[in-house]
């Protein structure tokens, strides 16, 4: 399988070689590890769209992330339902902040995690700086983003919007059992065979 150039991250420290990425793509599996940023969103988006172009067979995303840039997370979250291929997300390690946002892009029955995964929801944060008028604009945008994310969490989990607003006011960590009760997680799995489409 020939990979488009933007899928080959071989020059970066800790990046997987192109040959290994090709093997994951042959298995229709995408890896999201680490902070969510624009570069990662571009790579993951390219891989999802490429696999969807090849066929509408299921795609698996393995996710371990502390979060990061919200709008980069938005791109991946939205593409999960945009592509024709059904997408399952398998959380491992931690699924936090913008990582949880990506996780919630999959249908609940396609949201899996391995046994030792932790989940985090919270409100967006920002490092506002500059003139007072610019800081005011940034603060207003963060408030709008906070409400938008609360609405996404509420819709994806079935939780009352007031509860979600209260829960994301501070860091809200969850075990797998707590995430399942909350509606974030569909199923804890131990083997790849348990991922069903």
Measured CA angle at 144 (ends 138, 147), to 5 deg:
140
Domains of the chain by start residue, with CATH:
5-122+171-191 (3.90.226.10)
Yes or no: say if 58 and 30 are a contact pair by the CB < 8 Å rule.
no
Of 116, 89, 93, nearest to 184 (Cα)? 89
Write out the two tokens for 120.
């985090």
Task: Summarize pLDDT for 70-127 with one digit per residue, the tens.
Answer: 999 999 999 999 999 999 999 999 999 999 999 999 999 999 999 999 999 998 865 5
Query: Residue 124 CB: number of other CB atoms within 10 A?
Result: 19
As a whole number, mean pLDDT of residues 154-173 equals 97
Q: Active-site residues: which are they?
A: 97, 122
Write out the two tokens for 22.
């090709």
| pTM exceeds cut of 0.85 | yes
């Amino acid at each position: 399988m020939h990979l488009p150039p933007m899928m080959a991250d071989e020059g970066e420290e800790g990046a997987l070689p192109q040959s290994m990425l090709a093997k994951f793509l042959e298995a229709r599996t995408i890896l999201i590890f680490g902070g969510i940023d624009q570069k990662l969103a571009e790579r993951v988006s390219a891989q999802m769209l490429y696999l969807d172009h090849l066929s509408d067979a299921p795609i698996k995303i393995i996710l371990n992330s502390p979060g990061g840039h919200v709008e980069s997370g938005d791109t991946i979250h939205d593409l999960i339902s945009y592509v024709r291929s059904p997408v399952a997300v398998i959380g491992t390690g931690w699924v936090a902040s913008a990582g949880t946002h990506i996780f919630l892009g999959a249908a609940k029955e396609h949201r899996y995690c391995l046994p030792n995964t932790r989940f985090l929801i919270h409100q967006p944060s920002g490092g506002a700086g500059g003139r007072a008028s610019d800081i005011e604009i940034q603060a207003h945008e963060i408030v709008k983003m906070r409400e938008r994310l609360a609405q996404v969490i509420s819709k994806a989990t079935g939780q009352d919007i007031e509860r979600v607003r209260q829960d994301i006011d501070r860091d809200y960590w969850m075990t797998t059992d707590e995430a399942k009760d909350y509606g974030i997680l569909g199923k804890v799995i131990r083997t790849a065979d348990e991922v069903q489409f």
